[in-house]
Chains A and B, each alone.
Chain A
Amino acid sequence: MSDDDTINPADRGRIVAAEYVVGVLGAEERREVERRLAQEPALATEVAFWEERLAGLADAVAPVAPPPATWARIETTIGTPRHSSLWQNLAFWRGFGIAAATLAAASIAALFYIGLVPQARPPLLATLGGSAGQPNFVAAVTATGDSLVVVPAALLTTDQRAFELWLIPAGDNRPRSLGLIQPGQPIRLDIPRDLAGRLTRDATLAVSLEPPGGSPTGAPTGPVIAAGKLTNL
């Protein structure tokens, strides 16, 4: 700040909080302020002062409704389990307990076969295996292409962490969260509209262990316990 020597040092020390809130600092200076915030309550108070007092400036910005897909993605990521009537009717799944991936896959195939699910195109299935090759989950894209049924094939672990399902589209390495799944019961997840078209043959599905509520970063942070490619039945 040597370019403005006429401001006294005490004021300069304080003004950085205002500069941070107004938003004129560069990336490195912002990180520096954030590091200090954790240790300097006086600076934090000063930042809070400016945030509260300047918030009114945001009134000059007209509200813009975000697209519905944004909420859908948030909801999927935080893992709202939405049991469809289909699954409510098929509560017997839980009673039986699913011992093997083959049984689960066959059962899902049967759903398509007996017409519970209208068959618009060949169903896509994935068997998600663990590192030892054992099948852990079976996932099937529903015929309408807008939701995914995930059935645990074996009791994997008593780990208390959340199980998060990821889509890694074919030809693209960035995992997209499809939401949280349950290790002990089948679940149906709605697929965010912008991802529906990416659930194609050769796309990969993977399950990682995450903190409660799911990955805080939007990318997998814990170990991947199962993965597999989508294939046509």
Chain B
Amino acid sequence: MDAEASRSQITAALARVAAGDRAALRMVYQDTSAKLFGVCLRILKDRSEAEDVLQDVYLTVWHKAGSFDPGRASPITWLIAMARNRSIDRLRAGAVSRRMASIEEAHAVSDPAPDAVERIERIEQHRRLAGCLEELEARQSAAIRAAFLDGVTYEELATRMRVPLGTMKSWIRRGLLKLRACLEA
């Protein structure tokens, strides 16, 4: 199924969910739960925590599908944002005992997996993001990617990449400003 068909199908299903249609929720779940579970798991690094958050996300979809505005966001964006926000909140609440940042992780941060970059580029609608990220300094785009995927704070990023907190904030803020200008251009 192409992205556009999938998008309109999920949007239609969400409208039915808002009307209390359980079968429609199941459809949304079938189409999106593996993606969302991957996102939660990446942030929380704990299966049972990720399962809790995933369940919470779809229960929120059940109750709040009416607040989804297809004019404002694509349904998958809405769902991913919800999954990430819940996971990050759970992470901040300290419910998960996080692994210590290791040297491997520091490497992973400074050198993102090449297939990650490829996958981004493969998809037409994300080509621009990939292009704009490439215009940033490598360490800036690596820090932004790592923050987005792992949901970690400035403090943890600074520790991982072994730079002072102020430096990390500056990298990311400047990177984001530049990214915004590029995405808008």
Contact A213 B63 (CB under 8 A): yes
Contact A25 B54 (CB under 8 A): no
CA of A15 to CA of B88 in the docked complex: distance in angstroms?
Answer: 19
Distance between B35 CB and nearest chain A CB, rounded to angstroms = 5
Contact B35 A56 (CB under 8 A): no
Contact A22 B176 (CB under 8 A): yes
A70 CB–B CB distance under 8 Å = yes
Chain B stretch 26-70: residues in CB contact (< 8 A) with chain A: 26, 29, 33-35, 37-39, 41-43, 50-51, 54-56, 58-60, 62-63
Q: Pick the residue among A15, A21, A30 that contacts B89 (CB under 8 A).
A: A30
**What residues of A have a CB within 8 angstroms of the CB of B97 in the complex?**
none
B110 CB–A CB distance under 8 Å = no
Distance between B120 CB and nearest chain A CB, rounded to angstroms = 6
Q: Per-residue CB proximity of B130-163 to A under 8 Å, as 1/0?
A: 1000000000000011011111111101000000
Known: A51-B77, A52-B74, A216-B63. A27 touches B35 (CB 8 A): no
CA of A50 to CA of B126 in the docked complex: distance in angstroms?
Answer: 13
Contact A3 B166 (CB under 8 A): yes
Contact B152 A23 (CB under 8 A): yes
A74 CB–B CB distance under 8 Å = yes
A111 CB–B CB distance under 8 Å = no
B113 CB–A CB distance under 8 Å = yes
Q: Which residue of B lies closest to A69 (CB)?
A: B51
Known: A54-B129, A58-B35, A58-B80. A218 touches B166 (CB 8 A): no
Contact A22 B177 (CB under 8 A): no
Question: How many chain A residues touch B (Cβ–Cβ < 8 Å)?
Answer: 48
Q: Per-residue CB proximity of B156-185 to A under 8 Å, as 1/0?
A: 010000000110011011101101100100
Beyond A3-B169, A57-B149, 19 additional contacts (C-beta under 8 Å) are A19-B173, A19-B176, A22-B144, A24-B152, A24-B153, A27-B89, A54-B129, A55-B74, A56-B130, A57-B145, A58-B80, A59-B120, A60-B112, A60-B116, A62-B38, A65-B33, A66-B50, A66-B54, A70-B37
23 A-B pairs with C-beta separation under 8 A:
A12-B173, A18-B176, A19-B176, A23-B147, A23-B150, A26-B92, A27-B89, A30-B88, A30-B89, A48-B73, A51-B77, A51-B80, A52-B77, A53-B129, A55-B77, A58-B35, A60-B113, A60-B145, A63-B35, A65-B37, A66-B33, A69-B51, A71-B33
Binding site for A on B (CB under 8 A): 20, 22, 25-26, 29, 33-35, 37-39, 41-43, 50-51, 54-56, 58-60, 62-63, 72-74, 76-78, 80-81, 84, 88-89, 92-93, 112-113, 115-117, 119-120, 123, 125-126, 129-130, 144-145, 147-155, 157, 165-166, 169-170, 172-174, 176-177, 179-180, 183
